[in-house]
Structure 1
Amino acid sequence: MNPWVMFFLIASLGLGTTITFASSHWLLAWMGLEINTLAIIPLMAQQHHPRAVEATTKYFLTQATAAALVLFATTSNAWMLGEWQIQQLCHPLATSITMIALGLKVGLAPMHFWLPEVLQGLDLSTGLVLSTWQKLAPMILIYQIAPTLDQGALVLIGLVSALTGGWGGLNQTQLRKIMAYSSISHMGWMIIVLNYSPPLMLLNLLVYIVMTTSAFLTLKTVSATKINMLATASTKAPLMMSIAMLIMLSMGGLPPLTGFMPKWMILKEMTKQDLPLTATIIALAALLSLFFYLRLCYSLVLTSSPNTNNSKTPWRAKINTPFLLLSITAALSLMMLPITPTVIALMT
């Protein structure tokens, strides 16, 4: 793709998210969501492969449906109450439809069916953008309308998403589908705590973006798209794969890694809100996700190819990928747990 076209599309992605962040009017927020969608579609279809075009078409239809629902719900709210402000979405019908539409945009269960299929058809770079940057604008809108949403419904959506993300990833062999189900599970953790502690949801979103970025970058470094492709990766880049293993364990929420921090704090908040059954169910859902992360770890560092390879080329291969972003995100994914008391102090 032409560098100027690429620059224009990336700038449009940033512009769409910024407009949604800065808007207090539903039409401006909707316009930001549409700019985001239209900017990423050429990036998704740039491979000119039938699978990529299929994924792009599915994504466009899904996002167009969600955008139409947002526009319908907010117009209905303005018609009935005369109010276009984002935080004044008060009519029950409008709030319910808007939550369904935004859940469809980020891939919350049971509106998640498009996400694994779309992510499977993309390359790892575009999949990274879809899994991280494209979540920001809808999640900020959900954050703003959270006080008008029913707490029980949010808890139910969060539990269903966490369980779906865990169950769905168990029998997957495609890494991009595993990352899609991981995204669904993490979205469930964010939604379940949204009404009880909004800053904790934002913290979880930040940690999720950091961990997902480092995971995608490590997979891209060794060009791995299937689990069996990880079996020989440890012989090509042993240090990189050791770091990738720790990143996967961090995404699973194991201490003393960064991913343990938001899960621990969410379980603590659920217990504080007198919801021990909810905390127990979502903790068990985390065990399901941990299983397929451990499968990845096993393939990353505990297996090697049984075939004899006399070529010197793949062994300790020199990787020419820029490491700055990967180094920063990997360090943050592994070593942020000690600052948990500071984070708690800032949120209280």
Structure 2
Amino acid sequence: MFFIPNKFLFFCMLMGSTIFTISSNSWLGAWMGLEINLLSFIPLMSNTKNIFSTEASLKYFLTQAFASSTLVFFIIFSFLMYLNYFSLNMNNSMKMLMLSSLFLKLGAAPFHFWFPSVAENLTWLMNLILLTWQKIAPMILISYLSNEIYMQFIAIFSTLIGSLGGLNQTNLRKIMAFSSINHIGWMISSLIMNNNLWKIYFLIYSLLTILMISIFMNFNLFFINQIYLMMNFNLMNKFLLFMNFLSLGGLPPFLGFFPKWMIINNLILNNYFFLLTIMSMLTLINLFFYLRLALNSFLLLNMEQKWFININFKMNYFLISMSMISLLSLPLFTLLYFIY
């Protein structure tokens, strides 16, 4: 993709539009950045060799265009009411309406209806951009609007949908999409307390997502049964895959547990006990179906001999070294957390 001139141009516009949005000093400028981001991502999604990418592009465009038009309407309305784009005097109903349009752009529940179906029809590279980079601009704008009760509701609902939605899925792209919705709930809960928590959570989530999608791209995996039935997908490859899966679910002692632990700690300190209890219980559902997939892959439907492990270190050297980060980085981050 990066060697095609027009694709490279749109990719640079995609990166620049996000930076333009988060550095804007007015809501109207932020909206312009979001529009440039939308119009630069659509050509990257389109692929003449994949007919489903056209459907995904159309769904993404219609949803994002509706969210953008709603956002700019309320931006203009709030400007006419308060004569200040970043007014702190906006009432809660106006903040809720603007937050709803941003949650729609983000794909948070209950505005998630477009997210799994779009992710299902995209390539892994476009999924990587959709799951990571495309979250930055809406999240930064959400942090400007503090409506505690509404954001708690969205956080709980996103965690619920992200956990239950992935239970009976066999499509890996849909599983990653619902996992992303679950993580959106944790990110929103971190924004209620501290923006620095969101930055740490997002960086670690992005790292784990890159590792997961690297494995899927390397082995050309799209469905769960490919992990069970592919003879070249040996025991070591399954170990690397599910170690990252469990890290993404937040199981200690993997790296993915560290940002959840920080948020849990801050929720306790700020007396958000109800939010903490609900989100922790719902996240256990995520871990349940990750563990169920791992159990089936290792024990029930494995077609190779259990006492023989065929490891191709030349092929897996990158995956082994990067996956070890998921396990070995937790003590380092824990030490830094206690120091600072």
Q: Same fold (TM over 0.5)?
A: yes
Q: Give how far 1:304 is off.
A: 5.3
Which amino acid in 2 is paired with 1:340?
T
Q: CA deviation at 1:172?
A: 0.6
What displacement does 1:225 show? 0.6
Change (3 A) 1:318 1:337: closer
Partner residue in 2 for 1:342: 336
TM normalised by structure 2 equals: 0.90
8 Å CA contact retained: 1:119, 1:176: yes
The separation in 1 between residues aligned to 2:338 and 2:104, in whole angstroms, is 31
**C-alpha deviation, 1:196, in angstroms:** 1.9
RMSD value over aligned CA atoms?
A: 2.5
In structure 1, the residue matched to 2:268 is 271
Equivalent AA in structure 2 for residue 231 of structure 1? Y
Shift of 1:340: 2.1
Match of 1:106 in 2: 106
Q: Say if 1:154 and 1:250 are closer, same or farther in 2 by CA, change over 3 A.
A: same
TM-score normalised per structure 1: 0.88
How many equivalent pairs are there?
Answer: 334
The answer to whether the Cα contact below 8 Å between 1:120 and 1:176 also exists between their aligned partners in 2 is: yes
Distance in 2 (alpha carbons) for counterparts of 1:233 and 1:224 = 10
Give the match for residue 168 of structure 2.
Answer: 171
- Which piece of structure 1 moves more, 17-26 or 111-120? 17-26
- Equivalences for residues 188-337 of structure 1 within 5 A: 188-233=185-230, 235-236=232-233, 238-302=235-299, 306=303, 330-337=323-330
Whether the 8 Å contact between 2:95 and 2:147 is mirrored in structure 1 is: no
Q: Distance in 1 between matches of 2:223 and 2:83?
A: 52
Indicate the residue corresponding to 2:126 in structure 1: 126
Deviation at 1:117, TM superposition (A): 0.5
Show structure 1 runs of 5+ residues with no match.
309-314
Distance in 2 separating the partners of 1:20 and 1:329: 32
Gaps of 5+ in 2: none
Contact 1:258–1:337 (CA under 8 A) maintained in structure 2 = yes
Shift of 1:345: 4.6
Deviation at 1:91, TM superposition (A): 3.7
Give distance in 1, aligned partners of 2:7 and 2:293: 33
2 CA distance for matches of 1:199 and 1:263? 13
Whole-angstrom CA distance in 2 between matches of 1:336 and 1:317: 25
CA distance in 2: counterparts of 1:19 and 1:98, whole angstroms: 19
- Partners in 2 of 1:328 and 1:138 — Cα distance? 33
Native 8 Å contact 2:238 2:298 kept in 1? yes
* AA aligned opposite 2:329: M
The more displaced of 195-204 and 55-64 is 195-204
Structure 1 CA distance for aligned equivalents of residues 300 and 216 of structure 2: 16
Give the % identical residues.
36
1:227-278 deviation digits (Å, cap 9, x = unpaired): 0011145743543432221110101111111111111122222222223232
Between 7-16 and 196-205, report the one with greater CA deviation. 196-205
Q: Distance in 2 between matches of 1:99 and 1:10?
A: 27
* Residues 109 and 184 in structure 1, CA contact (< 8 A), matched pair in contact too: yes
In the aligned structure 1, how far is the partner of 2:64 from the partner of 2:166? Answer: 23
